[in-house]
């Protein structure tokens, strides 16, 4: 059996880096900054007292740039060991110090081949005195020579940019990239061209700012006039940062864009999951020293530590809201008004958050929009509908009876209201059965019941084909002649019947199966209001045709007012009853047609 070594196609590796691993060619700036920052860290570990410095000098006439650091430098042995072996890096040689470095993979320098045909590296190690030049090319060949002159301790990388990549040697483009990736690196970054030099680093990172400074940063750098800022700290993952409460509502499907740094080097400005999913009302700027970046250094490995950090960030945000409830409830109310949907989601999923937010959450009721705290003060008994249609059916009538109905048809509202007695034990919540709602109204006396009995019998016969039964009660307001209430089951049967001619065979068969499995077919309710003058006149009327037309007109009117889809028979009923009543009315005045 023979043994062979793998051969690496360097051009293939470069294509992999440029087209798959890295998001854009400009990441070579990040890799060079990272190498320089790590070299400074390594030199400081030797006990050298120095201020870290990375200088980027531009030579526009030759489309060349030089990146110099005053870090630890490389010996000839290290050059051969690390620069000539892809994936081999000195930063993993010492396990005790590996976590102090930004880079860990040994492929970063290859990113320079994306923009340059040659990498020239001049270095002098803090460990030895020789000044060395290394030249590497994308075909995998390289040369090493000792220089006659002595250079400063550290490393300088020279790149001459390829055609179509000249923009990466222009002042504003390079400054933009240096600031983008390295604005908060502890080593000072200087950009130099033709004797003019400019410091790129910011004096203070957002996670080191006061509250006022952090809000000003959001306004100036992120173009956000944020509602509030939350200091983020996590011992797990060695995380520090700030979370900004956005000044506008954000949907659950909105793209999250958190700015994430690793050891103060930008990892990504489009991180989508460092905060819990429910916290989509916030954006953040975070630095992590203890999370592991992927090989592209544009994301983190989502391991147990990562999820522990995510959970701890969530707890910090919740604690901040608890403090607001005690110290600044008006600000909390403002945040809740703007981010109502997301905070409802959090309240439903988390018991502690429910107790915190529920007093401030507002709900649609028959008395208008009320916060839960107001509900608990206003009444001891709440009627809760499960759908918007149910609420619309009964809310006006319920209000006239001094019954407080809450609309549970919106996302989360049903479950949130059901749990109100957990926070307000004196409060009772009853789920409304719209088909039985009429039973809450005043029953008629015996005489009035007997007078309405023929009308109800006629109504039941007329409405049987439409899955509806009649009833009569006395209720307010008097201007409502009938109250039509239904359920989801009745709605399904109506939909299936009204669209039977248009339904495909498969859906029609499914509808028939469901109907057959029902032990008892559900019926909608048409409750006549004996407090209404027209209903009483109808009951007193001896003309059966007029009673028939009145029942049909009131029934179809109730469907229209409730925005219910009408079957073809109901549409025909509405048109015929309307035209016949018009004709009768005109005939009685001498102007009708026979």
Residues making up the annotated binding site are: 31, 35, 69, 155
The tokens for 561 are: 């007012």
Helix (H, G, I), strand (E, B) or coil at 69: strand
Q: In what order do the strands lie in the sheet with 282-288?
A: 228-234, 239-245, 282-288, 258-262, 265-271
CB-CB neighbours of 296 under 10 Å: 16
How far is Cα 314 from Cα 262, in angstroms, rounded to an integer? 20
How far is Cα 332 from Cα 246, in angstroms, rounded to an integer? 13
CB-CB neighbours of 152 under 10 Å: 13
Closest C-alpha among 383, 361, 381 to residue 370: 361
CB 469 within 8 A of CB 463: yes
Whether the bond into 477 is cis, omega within 30 of 0: yes
Cβ neighbours of residue 184 under 8 Å, at least 6 residues apart?
201, 202, 205, 261, 264, 287
Burial environment of residue 506 by CB neighbours within 10 A (0 to 12, 13 to 18, 19 or more)? exposed
For 194-214, give one letter per residue: b (16+ CB within 10 A) or e: eeeeeebbeeebbbebeeeeb
How far is Cα 335 from Cα 432, in angstroms, rounded to an integer? 32
What's the longest Cα–Cα distance across the chain?
A: 124
CB 570 within 8 A of CB 497: no
Q: Output the CA angle 294-299-301, nearest 5 degrees.
A: 55
Known binding-site positions for ATP: 31, 35, 69, 155
User: Using H for helix, E for strand and C for coil, what is the string for 273-308?
Assistant: CCCCHHHCCEEEEEEECCCCECCCCCCECCCHHHHH
How far is Cα 172 from Cα 166, in angstroms, rounded to an integer? 12
Cβ neighbours of residue 433 under 8 Å, at least 6 residues apart?
487
Closest C-alpha among 513, 27, 547, 551 to residue 296: 27
């Amino acid at each position: 059996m023979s043994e062979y070594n793998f051969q690496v196609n360097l051009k293939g590796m470069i294509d992999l880096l440029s087209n798959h691993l890295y998001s854009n060619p400009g990441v070579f700036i990040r890799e060079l900054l990272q190498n320089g920052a790590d070299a400074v860290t390594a030199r400081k570990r030797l006990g050298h007292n120095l201020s870290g410095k990375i200088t980027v000098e531009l030579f526009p006439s030759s489309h060349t740039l030089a990146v110099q650091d005053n870090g630890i430098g490389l010996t000839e042995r290290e050059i051969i060991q690390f620069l000539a072996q892809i994936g081999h890096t000195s930063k993993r040689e010492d396990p005790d110090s590996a976590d102090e470095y930004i880079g860990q993979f040994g492929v970063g320098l290859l990113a320079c081949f994306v923009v340059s045909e040659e990498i020239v590296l001049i270095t002098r190690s803090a460990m030895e005195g020789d000044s060395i030049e290394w030249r590497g090319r994308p075909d995998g060949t390289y040369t090493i020579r000792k220089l006659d002159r002595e250079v400063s301790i550290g490393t300088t990388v020279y790149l001459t940019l390829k055609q179509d990549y000249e923009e990466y040697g222009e002042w504003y483009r390079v400054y933009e990239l240096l600031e983008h990736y390295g604005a908060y690196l502890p080593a000072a970054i200087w950009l130099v061209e033709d004797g003019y030099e400019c410091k790129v680093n910011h004096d203070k990172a957002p996670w080191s700012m006061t509250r006022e400074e952090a809000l000003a940063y959001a306004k100036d750098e992120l173009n956000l006039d944020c509602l509030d800022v939350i200091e983020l700290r996590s011992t797990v993952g060695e995380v520090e940062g700030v979370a900004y409460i956005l000044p506008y509502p954000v949907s659950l499907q909105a793209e999250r864009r958190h700015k994430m740094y690793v050891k103060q080097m930008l990892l990504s400005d489009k991180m989508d999951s460092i905060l819990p999913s429910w916290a989509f009302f916030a954006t953040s700027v975070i630095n992590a020293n203890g999370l592991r970046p992927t090989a592209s250094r544009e994301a983190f490995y989502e391991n147990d530590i990562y999820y522990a950090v995510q959970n701890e960030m969530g707890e910090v945000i919740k604690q901040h809201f608890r403090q607001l409830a005690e110290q600044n409830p008006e600000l909390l109310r403002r945040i809740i008004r703007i981010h109502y949907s997301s905070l409802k989601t959090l309240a439903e999923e988390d018991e502690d958050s429910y107790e915190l937010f529920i007093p401030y959450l507002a709900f649609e009721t028959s008395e208008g929009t009320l916060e839960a705290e107001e509900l608990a003060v206003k009444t001891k008994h709440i009627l809760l509908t499960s759908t918007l249609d149910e609420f619309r059916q009964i809310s006006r009538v319920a209000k006239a009876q001094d019954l407080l109905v809450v609309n549970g048809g919106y996302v989360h509202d049903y479950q949130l209201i059901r749990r109100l007695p957990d926070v307000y034990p004196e409060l009772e919540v009853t789920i409304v059965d719209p088909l039985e709602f009429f039973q809450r109204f005043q029953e008629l006396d015996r005489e009035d019941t007997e007078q309405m009995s023929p009308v109800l019998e006629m109504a039941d016969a007329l409405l049987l084909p439409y899955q509806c039964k009649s009833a009569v009660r006395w209720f307010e307001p008097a201007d409502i002649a009938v109250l039509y209430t239904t359920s989801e089951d009745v709605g399904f049967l109506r939909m299936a019947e009204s669209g039977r001619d248009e339904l495909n065979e498969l859906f029609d068969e499914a509808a028939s199966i469901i109907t057959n499995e029902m032990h008892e077919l559900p019926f909608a309710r048409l409750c006549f209001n004996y407090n209404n003058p027209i209903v009483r006149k109808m009951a007193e009327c001896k003309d059966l045709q007029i009673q028939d037309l009145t029942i049909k007109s009131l029934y179809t009117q109730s469907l229209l007012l409730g925005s219910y889809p009408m079957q073809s028979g109901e549409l025909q009923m509405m048109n015929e009853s309307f035209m016949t009543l018009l004709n009768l009315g005109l005939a009685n005045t001498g102007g009708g047609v026979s």
